[in-house]
Structure 1
């Protein structure tokens, strides 16, 4: 591993950037230089983000991707991208644009070309997608909605604690963009899966995930079948969408660190 290689952590919808703090500490202890910036206009704390949901309203995939590209490019070509959920989609998108030396996409949101749309995924996205008027708004989850979409594989008590600690209102627009991706010619959810050369990519899925079911991540892997670059999938049995923040997060983080080391990153 190159000394002090930068890492950019990219969170998805409904979690605050500070939810990456344990990962930042762990990666720094391994010699990396990690950062976990928020999405454009995201307030600096969970409390501030809850008090000002309109700050992030109407932020879309392209705006977020450009924001994180600026961060990664400012840190240098050796930067590693690690994203969760829509952050995973953004990590894939940026890697396909030549940003970063490698990427890890954990439970990545559905990219253009992925066809499976399981009922669990539809239900998880319903708090935003259920009302077309939400397109330009920021939407918050209830604890019950978080339990279904994120915390279904942990106890009720842990799910409620994670909800209270990390959740924030998030823009609904990326969900609408991903949902319509296969019907839009120039969708912001499109990823250049054929780019060659590019850095290695690791896809991670939790087999109990409701928000991004395992079948969706496996279908995402198939989108890279024409790529000559390293593209791998690691599945975590019985894990849900909360796998980056729940009590089992270290297992996932260790797997990511091991994979990066194996790739020389």
Structure 2
């Protein structure tokens, strides 16, 4: 497969976090000659504190995966060339969905929510996901993780001050429906389809998306003419974008992109 040569990157944010989580990543890749954007999700283009104070934000509560994928589809199609797509968590799932549509020159899915049909019964996954799924609660109200939930689902293993700083800097309300949509046909990938080069990364300490889930995702891809690679990083939790090791991860991704 020919090298992509693309110098444009679209960062796709995951659930529960503000799009400013990409700020350091944008600066890193821009210093290496890339043009980058990290579009906010619909109804989220204000400060994290404002969003936290907006509960029970019904506009955010109405976000759905199919519409969110279409939103990024529209952004990507308006660019002058196919970009490199880099997404985290649900953003990683959207990367995979957009590559299915032939919209990226290459894709990187960081600790990705897996496509439909890939599940695990690992305890940490079930515990981290129970609150966001919001069973027995109104889907008309957005969900905001408590700090204690954030500690388990995102920042486990970090010291208390770093966990608190991350929570107040990035944590925002989320749609319960969009979390549920990840197990529906809105998240379907045909693993036999040809696709642009795709890198899946995982973290050994991620409670929300265990590394084993990302590895299963990787193994599902079956097109022999398409590039698919997998990398597990030791010590990474679900807050991987903001951990002290983020630059090491970004450098690995940069080198992978340069080879495509």
TM-score over 0.5 for the alignment? yes
Aligned mates of 1:226, 1:134 — CA distance in 2: 41
1:51-77 CA-to-partner distances (Å, cap 9, x unmatched) read 333331121111111111111111133
Aligned mates of 1:36, 1:146 — CA distance in 2: 23
Q: Which runs of 5+ in 2 are unaligned?
A: none
Q: 1:134 and 1:231, CA in 2 relative to 1: closer, same or farther beyond 3 A?
A: farther
Q: Is the 8 A contact 2:202 2:233 kept in 1?
A: yes
TM-score (norm 1): 0.91
Give the equivalent residue in structure 2 for 1:138: 142
1:66-120 CA-to-partner distances (Å, cap 9, x unmatched) read 1111111111333011000000000111111111111100000121121323111
Q: 1:3 and 1:189, CA in 2 relative to 1: closer, same or farther beyond 3 A?
A: closer
Shift of 1:261: 0.7
Q: Is the 8 A contact 2:82 2:103 kept in 1?
A: no
Aligned mates of 2:49, 2:59 — CA distance in 1: 13
1:32 and 2:30 correspond: no
Aligned mates of 2:22, 2:98 — CA distance in 1: 19
Q: Is the 8 A contact 1:12 1:87 kept in 2?
A: yes
Shift of 1:22: 0.6
1:120 and 2:124 correspond: yes
Shift of 1:50: 2.0
Q: 1:74 and 1:132, CA in 2 relative to 1: closer, same or farther beyond 3 A?
A: farther
Q: Which runs of 5+ in 1 are unaligned?
A: 182-186
Q: Secondary structure at the match of 1:34?
A: strand
Give the equivalent residue in structure 2 for 1:49: 51
1:231 to 224, 228, 244: 228
Give the equivalent residue in structure 2 for 1:18: 20
Give the equivalent residue in structure 2 for 1:201: 198
Across the aligned residues of Structure 1 and Structure 2, the Cα RMSD in angstroms comes to: 1.7
TM-score (norm 2): 0.93
Shift of 1:253: 0.9
Alignment of 1:52-67 (within 5 A): 52=54, 53-67=57-71
1:227-257 CA-to-partner distances (Å, cap 9, x unmatched) read 5210000110121101111222111111111
Q: Secondary structure at the match of 1:218?
A: helix
2:248 to 230, 246, 251: 251
2:189 to 188, 191, 204: 191
Q: Is the 8 A contact 2:134 2:143 kept in 1?
A: no
